[in-house]
Amino acid sequence: MTAAGVRATARIGARDDGRGGTSLPVLEGEGPLALRRTRASGSEARVMLVGAMSGPLGGDHFTVEATVAAGARLHVGSAAATIALPGQAKGEARYDVLLDVAAGGELRWLPEQLISAGGSELYVSTRIDLEPGARLVFREEQVLGRVGEEPGRLTSRLTLRIGGRAVLDQELACGPGAPGGWDGPAVLGGHRALGQLVVVRPEFEREPVRARLLGESAALTPLAGAAALVTALAPDALLLRRVLDEALSSLG
């Protein structure tokens, strides 16, 4: 911890153990980013990210890295929601997520939601790099404000590259100080929960998904490189999760 806030990094490395399972030669967490291996499911290793402290707070910089080698299967979740809070240190907090999956590897990234509490400032950056032939399920859920409060300032950028080619690069800013119109009908339309689901499967190369609406406030969009994107809005986190779960089930 410094005067500018807490710096912490968590690293996960998964590889084929040669016996039909997945080993975790790298499982390291610092300070507020604790990692716990949980009961495996078949050949899939499971890891839980456990927040050991409140945060991120103003001035904090958290980084989570996950690398999945060929033949390995990794599922990453979190024990509870992440809450961005105002802190004593000035300036925005940062939360970086760096994910790399080799050909023949599979990553399911399914943490709980991120809540942007009133007065907080957080920049979230997620960079996903896949080799052709990798498989991915990535879920991101954000809730603007706790019950009865206005949200903090939240900026989120998601970048997906497959074989070094960018197939998705988007950024959204919400809350006080964000560009005008973020809460208007063209963006959030008054909703306070927003999420997306990125699914990458080699079979989508042969049979791309069909673009379609998934209810009133969700849509499925095909992307290049065997990928599909679901974007959704909802009045609360519970309904948002239901929409994203149904979307994932519809993809088979």
In sequence order, what are the residues at sequence separation of 6 or more whose Cβ sits closer than 8 angstroms to the Cβ of residue 134? 68, 101, 102, 103, 104, 105, 106, 107, 162, 200
Average pLDDT over residues 148-160: 92
> How large a percentage of the chain has pLDDT more than 70?
96
Q: What are 77's strand-pairing partners? A: 48
Q: pLDDT tens across 56-83, in order? A: 888 899 999 999 999 999 999 999 999 9
Query: Mean pLDDT across the chain, nearest whole number?
Result: 91
Q: Which pLDDT does position 54 carry in this prediction? A: 65
Q: pLDDT tens across 204-252, in order? A: 999 989 999 998 889 999 998 899 999 999 999 999 999 999 999 988 7
Average pLDDT over residues 194-210: 94
- Contact by Cβ (8 Å): 164, 103: no
> How large a percentage of the chain has pLDDT more than 90?
73
Using the predicted structure, report yes or no on whether residue 2 has a pLDDT greater than 60. no
Using the predicted structure, report yes or no on whether residue 90 has a pLDDT greater than 80. no
Q: Which pLDDT does position 212 carry in this prediction? A: 93
Q: Which sequence spans correspond to the domains of the chain?
A: 54-250
Q: What type of residue is 200?
A: V
CA nearest 78: which of 66, 86, 92, 67? 66
Longest dimension (CA), the chain: 55
Q: Which of the pair, 56 or 130, is modelled with greater confidence?
A: 130
Q: Which pLDDT does position 52 carry in this prediction? A: 59
Using the predicted structure, report yes or no on whether residue 134 has a pLDDT greater than 80. yes
Q: Which of the pair, 150 or 245, is modelled with greater confidence?
A: 245
Most confident of 1-15, 67-81, 167-181: 67-81
- Contact by Cβ (8 Å): 149, 193: no
Q: What is the pTM of this model?
A: 0.93
- Contact by Cβ (8 Å): 106, 136: yes
Whole-number Å distance between alpha carbons of 163 and 104:
13
**Which of the four pLDDT bands, split at 50, 70 and 90, describes residue 89?**
low
Whole-number Å distance between alpha carbons of 181 and 198:
25
Q: Which pLDDT does position 58 carry in this prediction? A: 87
**Tokens 């997945």 appear where?**
22
**Tokens 């009961």 appear where?**
39
